[in-house]
Structure 1
Amino acid sequence: MSDFVADYAAASVRPSPNHGERVSGRKPDSIILHYTGMPNADQALDWLCNEESQVSSHYFVHEDGRVIQLVPEERRAWHAGKSAWAGEVDINSCSIGIEIANTGHPGGLPMFPFVQIDAVIQLCLDCGERWSIRPERVLGHSDVAPIRKVDPGENFPWNSLHASGVGHWVEASPIAGGRFFQLGEAGQPIEALQSMLSLYGYDLEITGNFCDRTKGVLEAFQRHFRPALVDGIADFSTIDTLHRLLTSLPKYSQVEI
């Protein structure tokens, strides 16, 4: 594709050839945040703009806050891969993908610079306003592809985004002792845990068995909402944080969970 006019006024344009039509004329109702996970930003940007890679995103945010648009928002960028959220399995067709330059877990989980996070916030605010994206639909790649993906990682400052009006968040409950549930357990409490995770949007079958998939989804939840300890164990802190997130959503505020 030749140059196009950026949808976000603060972005410059570097077209990627990797995109297609949004299926059934879908409009974006979600924002998916990623880290690049590559040794440097230029290498990551080149890869997203290389036809051989078959991957892309709508936006790329450098460490110094520069924002590059690679794919027009009306087009379907190829950033989420095999993923699902709240029953939707074509996340690429209903989302805007934002790649954030950061070496991630392969690079030791470096912190995201303040100027970069501010640029991400401003970009999300702009996209969210133009497309009427609800706060709880600003998600990490690990949320929509648990186990398979771990970005943007447990060092991503979701709380800072929320303080600026981006995303859904409650302060995590303190980590303490008490009863917990883990891999191999079964019964009604596990079914209730799976139900809450599924109600929030995670792709998880409700079986009553604490299986590997349940552990992986729980780790994804912790990585986003209780990042101080990502262990896939359903302790009080994790369960209470999940419960308060659910009941803070208007559709569940009057429902007994």
Structure 2
Amino acid sequence: MEIIASPSPNFDFRQYPVNMLVLHYTGMESGHAALDRMCDPEAKVSSHYMVWEDGRIDQLVAEDRRAWHAGVSRWQGDQDLNSRSIGIEIVNGGHDFPLADGSLPPFPLPQIQALIALIRKILADHDIPATRIVGHSDIAPDRKQDPGEHFPWQMLAQAGIGFWPEVEGTNDPDVDGKSLSPGETGASVRRMQEFLAGIGYALDCNGSYDPPTEAVVRAFQRRWLPDRVSGIADIQTLRRIGAVFDFYSA
């Protein structure tokens, strides 16, 4: 695996050991535009690596330094995720630059194969549990959508990276119950919020299916149920929440 040095000035010093991996898409018109931006000192944004469509990999920031990719974000009760994580930008236009027919641009196989090889290298060097391999939308659900519902999380799990639930349900009747929708309140909503917070999402377990809860449900679906990104917790979503919670809390 060849890694090209493309140093960015946008970094500082870590405050915590590395124990997270955050995946992004670039969300720009081209990889060159994304690379130029991440190397522009005025942009104040960067990542440790960028993976091109053809599988080339650029390294912008050394892994022992704090790249500026996560922004205001939280996961499993932690903040300052830039200090705790390695960030990888994957060249893809995403929601901002869809294809001509409106669909999201695919991630080419050589790109995903290179990404898998890079992540395996990172995991060999750092103690990063499967529960802390996340997308940008997981850690900032109110403002981010990347790497998007078109990102092949299941393919990564099949390569031994992260997790993909093989079970559709949970034995907990409070989670595997009736569907829930924005605006609802009550114990069932609170229980769902507790499961989502137990997975790692930053969420106030107040029993109200409010806009922040809808944003988290949508982020969960984008990651775990990419064919139904609605923000509505239907039965399949509730079952999947329970299955992921069971794995994350094991």
- TM-score, normalised via structure 2 length: 0.92
CA contact (8 A) 1:171 1:241 kept: no
Offset at 1:172? 7.5
Offset at 1:171? 4.2
CA contact (8 A) 2:130 2:162 kept: yes
Give 2:173's aligned residue.
none
Matched, 1:131 2:126: yes
Distance across 2 between alignment mates of 1:64 and 1:152: 17
3-state SS of paired residue (1:31): strand
Matched, 1:122 2:117: yes
Give 2:184's aligned residue.
185
Structure 2: unaligned runs, 5 residues or longer? 99-103, 170-176
Which portions of structure 1, spanning 4 or more consecutive aligned residues, are displaced by more than 3 angstroms?
171-174
User: 1:1-257 alignment to 2 at 5 Å?
Assistant: 10-23=2-15, 26-108=16-98, 109-171=104-166, 173=168, 179-249=178-248, 252-253=249-250
Q: Deviations over 1:64-115 (max 9, x none)?
A: 0001100000000000000000111111000000000000001221010000
Q: Deviations over 1:127-179 (max 9, x none)?
A: 112102111211000000002000000000000000001112114749xxx83
Letter in 1 for 2:217: L
Letter in 2 for 1:244: A
CA contact (8 A) 2:141 2:215 kept: yes
Offset at 1:22? 0.6
**Identity level (%):** 45
Give 1:4's aligned residue.
none
Pairwise CA RMSD of aligned residues? 1.3
Letter in 1 for 2:203: L
Distance across 1 between alignment mates of 2:68 and 2:167: 32
Distance across 1 between alignment mates of 2:39 and 2:193: 39
3-state SS of paired residue (1:32): strand
CA 1:129–1:171 in structure 2 vs 1: closer, same or farther (change >3 Å)?
same
